[in-house]
Structure 1
Amino acid sequence: MVRRWAPALLAALICQLLLLMALPQPGSDGRRARRAVLEEDTATLLRWSRTASGLGTTSSLATIPLQGLAGLPPPPPSSLPAGAFTGDSQSEQGRRRPVAAASRPPATSNPGNLPRQPSEAFRLARQVAMGGRPREAGSALVALQRRQWWLLPGQERALLALWDGGKEQELPASLGTLPEDISLRLSSPSAAAPLALAELHGRSLIDGDRLWLFWQQGESLWLLRGALLGPPTPPPPALTGS
């Protein structure tokens, strides 16, 4: 009997082994799928129900009429930098806004504080360069003090080239006259660009025992050069007895 059914029993055993091999192993995707199906979702349902009930409550609240909005305090100023908001309204405001002060050239001291004539400015620039307590502390002296620098080593060659490129010419009558110890040349502001000076009008430079002064009138730049100490003071006349 066993010998007759041995081939059939062997075939059935082989089929069962193949079926067992085809089944998913424990911890595989099949178990994870069943776990996802059985996941607890009570908290999500409760949250949705609370949200729905809250919406119904807020709809019944009293609203502030438009006339009452004028009595509310203004909103606090924004701490965000300018340009943080975008939109058509902001771009329209940007087009209407005037040019910012940062785009303008840096403010300098008022040229009106300077003397009217370059000879007086050169005299006060000498007084500033000598230091000590000034004999006259007016606004013109302060304006020239702010414009006085020491000549830097890299500026000496550019300053001499500017002087050599200028032409000898007398001052116009509106600028007065100069003492004989002050030399004068006429140039242009563009020629003084290698000096890299922020302001030319009333600028004085100390170069050893010499003093330079720039005096600008429109497109004309007058260069004044003289001794730092000025001309020697003549001795007082000798007294003669009777």
Structure 2
Amino acid sequence: MSMSPQPRLENAGIDAWLVRLFDDIDERNMGWITSLVSACKRAFGERLIDVVPSYTTVLVQFDVLQLEHAQARQLLHTLLAELEPDGTDQTASITELPVWYHPSVGPDMAHLEQHTGLDTATLIALHSQPVYRVFALGFAPGFAFMGSLPAQLELPRLERPRSSVPAGSVAIAGRQTAAYPNASPGGWNLLGRTSARLFDAQRAGLSLLQVGDRVRFVPVTKSEFERLGGDSTPIREP
């Protein structure tokens, strides 16, 4: 059952309002979040500059030359009064990300084994079994924060982040999981690598994953990973 939001509007500048729908992160929030995003796109139309959903909030940025601050606030109040959760939560298609789980590209798997007392096969099964929801996009273009990770896999971020994490690296931190769309510094625990291209400047929408999407990680062999275009170059730790 979806949680009922208690929306609050917070001033986010002369051209934006932050709609706070919930106080706690929960997968059940997503139907309300995605519904408000769609409603804002319809109601604001060309007056909308950007709409940015997150775990519990939606930031709505508008064109002040076409819409006054108070008018935008009133429009949001009207949308919120009529808001219903998106009913596609459990029926939307699932994006599958092929993953090669291996210590050469997932060097923190050994730490996870030690932390949990579980073997590699069990850890892979636990990570790849759930259907995750994309809670937010951030940190880097195309970086999708997904949850919720099974409690057995909960692991804090690294004390010392890596200076460079290869593109496609599949990682966990806390109760979340993600895949790095491009090479970048990072402090999450690496379990493997996906061959999926998560960010593409030539793709409509740029990011393969969007807030609200349903995602599953699918284990593949090294040969299948490479056939799909994956880079199996091992991580060289200092």
Which interval holds the TM-score relative to the shorter structure? Answer: under 0.3
- Structure holding more helix per residue: 1
Higher Cα Rg: structure 1 or 2?
1
Whose relative contact order is higher, 1 or 2, with alpha carbons under 8 Å and at least 6 apart?
Answer: 2
The structure with more strand, counted as a fraction of residues: 2
Q: TM-score, normalised by structure 2?
A: 0.22
